Structure 1
Amino acid sequence: MPVPQSRGLISRSLLRENAYQAIRDAIVDGTFAPGERLNDSDLVEWLGVSRTPVREALARLERAGLVQTKPGRYTMVSPLDARAVRAAQSVTSAMHELAVREALPNLSAAELDAMRGANARFADALRRNDADAAIAADDDFHGVPVAACANPAIWNVLEQFTPVLRRLERRRFSSLSGRGSVAQHDRIIALCEAGDVEGAVAATRANWQTLVPLLDIPLPGGDELGGGPAGIASPH
């Protein structure tokens, strides 16, 4: 019988995605520190895959601004860069506002309940000072309208730029400074439930533009996230 042309594509796709997610998460959570060299052979051994998915993952991470490469010389974790974080913040905030605007007219009771559940997990994680769980719950909360709006362009932009912000977000959610976001999330839910599109969009914008203590954390090279006339807002 003829062999289907698509044979093996699913497994290769999963290998690429798994390699990408594993390296991305290790950069975001600080396992791979800013400026650290990434060796292909070490990553291959760690992930248990061939060089191809590792190299494809690194190329994708470079496009996202999480790694830097010098062909034939090295690949390293990108240093924390204030300009890159400001740019990512601006784009990410706009995408979440658009997601709420597009999703709200058709947001179901089940989806509102999912937002409430995510916010409850978020509050619990903050009480336990569990930054990883707080980030996961925060992603789940904001991910509801992103999924509900069914706009793949929004998802693609967020997939690229959110990890840049999450490298700093862990510091914030390890402290008390993130706890005001629980009430902000509740307000977003209430406005969505009331069908107030403009109010919900404004509340989402406020949530993503709240200045937090991490803005004054010095970055390698002497720059600071709090520097400049406008500073940068952290997502939460």
Structure 2
Amino acid sequence: MNTLHKPNKQQYAYQVIRSRILDGRYPPGHKLVIDQLARELHTSAIPVREAIRLLEADSLISFKPYSGAIVTPFDEEAYLETLSVLAVLEGFATAESSRSFPHEKLDELRAYTKLMEEALDSFDFSLFSNYNKEFHKLTYKYCSNRFLKEQIHSTWERLGTVRKSGMTMKPSRMKRSIAEHYLLIEMIEKREDPEKIESFTRNHKLNTLKAFLEDKSSQPKQINY
């Protein structure tokens, strides 16, 4: 007997639109036309409108005067705050995970880092980001605190909602990030003090934040005449 429940029309519309926002197909500022979405999803406008209201509650969609529903624009302050929180959470979770991290999984960490190198060499920054996320998910996988891991997952999702479309680290920061990954693998392999691992992982994340701020400060200021 099949016990799987098929989502209703509102749930389906919510899942599809949400997925398109998070994977970048609908970038920040993208206008959502309800009738067009209804045709694409083979449904009426009502479940699409209800789904958009739910996505507004998730802060994924905003309403702009004279434009209607749009994907929430990039929020720099929210991005910096979220990345700072992620640094703290992942630092602690990775340190806890390191206490019982299986030795045989170290090669998997190295493989993800190697794939990041290959993605950088081919200028596939989206793939680089995906492998980076998988690397970190594995580093804290063996943390026994399930609530903490749920909070990290939620924070990653929030980061995806506030990140600017197409936003990536600069290649110079990507190279340093890869080098830091290899150092973290070495620390886990040697069973170094969890407090050192926590500090290193936290600073690894914060280095990305610092690189973002440095890049921003180096950009020429726009002059309005």
Task: Tell me the equivalent position of 1:226.
Answer: none
C-alpha distance after superposition, 1:30-83 (max 9, x if no partner):
x323222223343344456776488447625742x332247xx83211111121
Q: 2:87 touches 2:205 (CA, 8 Å); kept in 1?
A: yes
Q: Distance in 1 between matches of 2:174 and 2:165?
A: 9
The match for 1:231 is none
Supply the AA of the counterpart residue of 2:54. Answer: A
- How far apart, in 1, do the equivalents of 2:56 and 2:91 lie? 25
In the TM superposition, 1:178-189 aligns within 5 A as 178-189=174-185
- Distance of 2:109 and 2:126 partners within structure 1: 18
Q: Give 1:104's aligned amino acid.
A: S
Q: In structure 2, how many angstroms separate the alpha carbons of the residues matched to 1:189 and 1:52?
A: 47
In structure 2, list runs of 5 or more residues that go unmatched: none
The aligned counterpart of 1:227 is none
Quick check: 1:205 aligned with 2:199? Answer: no
Report whether the alignment pairs 1:92 with 2:89.
no
**Equivalent residue for 1:130?**
124
Q: Separation in 1 of the partners of 2:212 and 2:29?
A: 24
Which residue, out of 12, 16, 21, partners 1:24? 21
Matches within 5 A, 1:146-185: 146-166=140-160, 167-168=163-164, 170-173=166-169, 175-185=171-181
TM-score w.r.t. length of structure 1:
0.71
Q: Equivalent residue of 1:106, what SS? A: coil
Deviations 1:91-132 (A, max 9, x none): 111111121122111111233222111111111111111011
Letter in 2 for 1:206: N
Matched, 1:59 2:54: yes
Q: Percent identity?
A: 18
Question: Is there any run of 5+ residues in structure 1 with no aligned partner, and where?
Answer: 223-236
For 2:167, the aligned partner's letter is: R
Specify whether residues 35 and 171 from structure 1 end up closer, same or farther in structure 2 by C-alpha distance, changes over 3 A only: closer
**Counterpart contact for 1:96–1:204, Cα < 8 Å:** yes
Letter in 1 for 2:31: R
Q: Relative contact order, CA 8 A, sep 6+: which one is greater?
A: 2
2:118 matches 1:119: no
Q: Quote the Cα distance in structure 1 between the aligned partners of 2:108 and 2:30.
A: 38
Letter in 2 for 1:188: L
RMSD, aligned CA: 3.5
Q: TM-score normalized by structure 2? A: 0.74
Report runs of 4+ in structure 1 exceeding 6 Å deviation.
none
Larger Rg: 2
Counterpart in 2 of 1:12? 7
